[in-house]
Amino acid sequence: MMDRPLLVKNLLWRAENVFGRHPIVSCREGAGDNEITYGELTAMVRRYAAVLAELGVVPGTRVGSLAWNTARHLAAYFAVPMLGAVLHTVNQRLPAEHLVHTIARAGDEVLLVDRDLLPIVERIREALPGVRHVVVFGPRPTDPVSGVLYMDELAAGVAEFDAFPELDERAPAGICFTSGTTGMPKGVVYSHRSTVLHALALCVAGGPEVRTDRSYLLATQMSHVNGWGLPHAAALQGARLVLPGPHPAPRDHLRAISTWHPSVLVGSPTVMAMIRDEYEHDPGGYDLSSVRRLWLGGQAPLAAQARWWGERGVEVTNGWGMTEASPTGTFSSVSDSQGRPLPLVEIRVVDPDGRELARDGRTPGELEIRSPWVTGSYLDGQSPESFREGWFRTGDVATISHDGQMAIRDRAKDMIKSGGEWISSIELENHLTQHPCVVEAAVIGVPDERWLERPAAWVVLAGEVTDDELREYVAASYPRYWAPDEFLRVEEIPKTSVGKLDKVAMRRRHAELLTETTR
């Protein structure tokens, strides 16, 4: 067989030569929506590559992006790795300290930045001596910022780049940092090979099955794990992408859905809940009738939400994944399990000594995973303890059934141990959100003199209900000791920069409340 390397440029080859006339939509703020084809995207990629080459970007150079979901960002997704350089998609929502840490650790020499995110870069630029160039996407404005370059101006002065190198498929193509719920973010490096294999796996039946005849609203950020790999898979299949542009608010998503009629909405349950709430609050002539499917991921789906979309004829699917796994490991065509591993993904559950546990759907253990698109180490060799005998230890607690159905039971560190018994915070959260008065719930373990730990629930309510009623509701389905001792009524539950329940912040706040009341 021919020993052809698996390279990111092969993904774009198909977009250009098979689907060159297929449209991609990039919804822009203010100036109206802009529809381009894959053929036009390829021309942008070639120009961006020429610009970057002129700026001294060579194989191995790290290029950071601080950008929204736009065609420009998509062009960078291809231009940077096709040059042999490495695209580090920076999560712009991180606190300044984490931004500096991740950009410095990645070793970014060039930053590609959306205009409205430039102030973030300006504030930290002094702390980033390794950054040689800051290039702002779009045209030079009438009031340009000194010390930065403007992409459209540079791209107008170059010829399309055509000498993309043949690379080793194991060469790095991208970097993303974990969201840092448990400390400083850790870097994960994706290779050309892992990116291509992951994109292929997203296209096959049994997974999200990215298809030419489906169109996708990408409501998850392209800075988060390669936009879940969808941009790469969509290029391979010539699927239409609807990219919501800068600062998308729920009503921007609704407008994009009504105008461009995507058949699949892709994003976290939190984003989808915001879209639903906005729609409920003000249906305002929005049209959801094109939507056939939700592709959720990043956290457990909310039962009430699945019901709401289900009533509208929408299929609710759910992918389990991690930054470390590119991200997709398993996929489920229903919302109440995490589903089966994608082809070429192996999963198992183990006890604390690393012994494999039964695949009986009942025995929980730490989930371990291995696959050509799961990282074998962190950048700079951080956290070696996360890897054991060729497997990556996810820190999730799961069960696996005989037919490969995996269900997340908890994050190892989110399990609550009360009087020697485990209580699953995730199960409690799922159960509480099925109560008609509870919109959202998050459960943490709080220190307790007698039981060592007890569950405390934070709830966002949509109706009148007492603590005792909620406790009875829990006790009707679970052992009584599972019923949270406290219910803290809040307007909003703290979330991390990527929209996960921020249990670290919740625990901190709980501890503060405790000292305030005992003082």
Q: Who contacts 476 (Cβ-Cβ below 8 Å, separation ≥6)?
A: none
Q: What is the closest distance, in whole angstroms, from the C-beta atom of residue 210 to ligand AMP in the complex? A: 17
What is the contact mask toward ligand AMP in residues 327 to 356, using x (rule: CB under 6 A)? Answer: x----------x------------------
* Cβ distance to ligand AMP smaller for residue 16 or 324: 324
User: Per CB under 6 A, does 326 bind ligand AMP?
Assistant: no
Which among 145-153, 163-171, 320-328, 350-358 is the span making contact with ligand AMP, rule CB under 6 A?
Answer: 320-328
- Residue 272 binds ligand AMP, judged by CB under 6 A: no
Angle between the 71-82 and 230-237 helix axes, to the nearest 10 degrees? 90
Residue 323 in the binding site for ligand AMP (CB under 6 A): yes
Taking the least distance from each CB to ligand AMP, the nearer of 73 and 411 is: 411
Size of the site for ligand AMP (CB under 6 A): 19
The one segment of 40-48, 100-108, 294-302, 449-457 that binds ligand AMP by CB under 6 A: 294-302
Q: How far apart are CA 311 and CA 314, in angstroms?
A: 7
417 is catalytic: yes
CB of 86 to ligand AMP, least distance (A): 19
List the catalytic residue out of 54, 413, 422, 469: 422
259 is catalytic: no
Residues 301 and 309 sit within 8 Å (Cβ to Cβ): no
Pair 355, 343: CB distance under 8 Å: no
88 touching ligand AMP, by CB under 6 A: no
Instruction: Decide if 389 contacts 348 (C-beta within 8 A).
Output: no
Q: How far is CA 56 from CA 42, 61, 84, 89, 110, in A?
A: 21, 9, 12, 19, 9
Residues 363-382, interacting with ligand AMP (CB under 6 A): none
Of the residues 89, 178, 270, 399, only one is catalytic, namely: 178
Six-digit token string for 365: 């253990």
In the complex with ligand AMP, the residue whose CB is nearer, 186 or 359, is 186
- Which residue in the list 97, 166, 413, 417 is annotated as catalytic? 417
- Per this entry, what is the length of the chain? 519
Rg for the chain (alpha carbons), in Å? 23
Distances (CA, A) of 32 to 25, 120, 134, 432, 434: 11, 25, 26, 42, 40
Of 69, 89, 179, 237, the one binding ligand AMP by CB under 6 A: 179
CB of 473 to ligand AMP, least distance (A): 23
Candidate residues 65, 70, 299, 335; the one interacting with ligand AMP per rule CB under 6 A: 299
Closest approach of ligand AMP to the CB of residue 427, in Å: 12
Q: Which of 238, 248, 250, 321 binds ligand AMP (CB under 6 A)?
A: 321
The answer to the question of residue 322 lying near ligand AMP (CB under 6 A) is: yes
Q: In what order do the strands lie in the sheet with 315-321?
A: 34-37, 23-26, 240-243, 215-218, 264-267, 293-297, 315-321, 328-332, 340-341
What are the φ/ψ torsions at residue 242 (nearest 5 degrees)?
A: -105, 115
When asked if residue 320 is in the footprint of ligand AMP (CB under 6 A), the reply is yes
Q: Does 431 bind ligand AMP (CB under 6 A)?
A: no
Question: What's the DSSP call for residue 504?
Answer: H
Which of 70, 178, 215, 375 is in the footprint of ligand AMP by CB under 6 A?
178
Collapsing DSSP to helix, strand or coil, 168 comes out as coil
54 tagged catalytic: no
The first and second tokens of residue 126, run together, are: 């002094």
Q: Residues 387-406: x/- map of binding to ligand AMP (CB under 6 A)?
A: -------x-x----------
Cβ contact 106:64 at 8 Å: yes
Q: Is 141 helix (H, G, I), strand (E, B) or coil?
A: coil
d(CA 58, CA 512): 50
318 binding ligand AMP? (CB under 6 A) = yes
* Strand 452-461 to 133-136 pairing: unpaired
Q: Is the Cβ–Cβ distance between 463 and 451 less than 8 Å?
A: no
Nearer to ligand AMP, 26 or 433 (CB): 433
CB 263 within 8 A of CB 291: yes
Instruction: Name which position in 187, 250, 298, 445 contacts ligand AMP (CB under 6 A).
Output: 298
| Least distance in angstroms from the C-beta of 377 to ligand AMP | 16
Do residues 102 and 58 lie in contact, with contact meaning Cβ atoms separated by under 8 Å?
no
d(CA 400, CA 207): 17
The answer to the question of residue 408 lying near ligand AMP (CB under 6 A) is: yes
Per the annotation, the verdict on 422 as an active-site residue is yes
- Of the residues 151, 203, 300, 400, which one makes contact with ligand AMP according to CB under 6 A: 300
| Cα 75 → chain centroid | 19
Residues annotated as part of the active site:
178, 324, 417, 422
- Contact set with ligand AMP (CB under 6 A): 178-179, 297-300, 318-323, 327, 338, 394, 396, 408, 411, 498
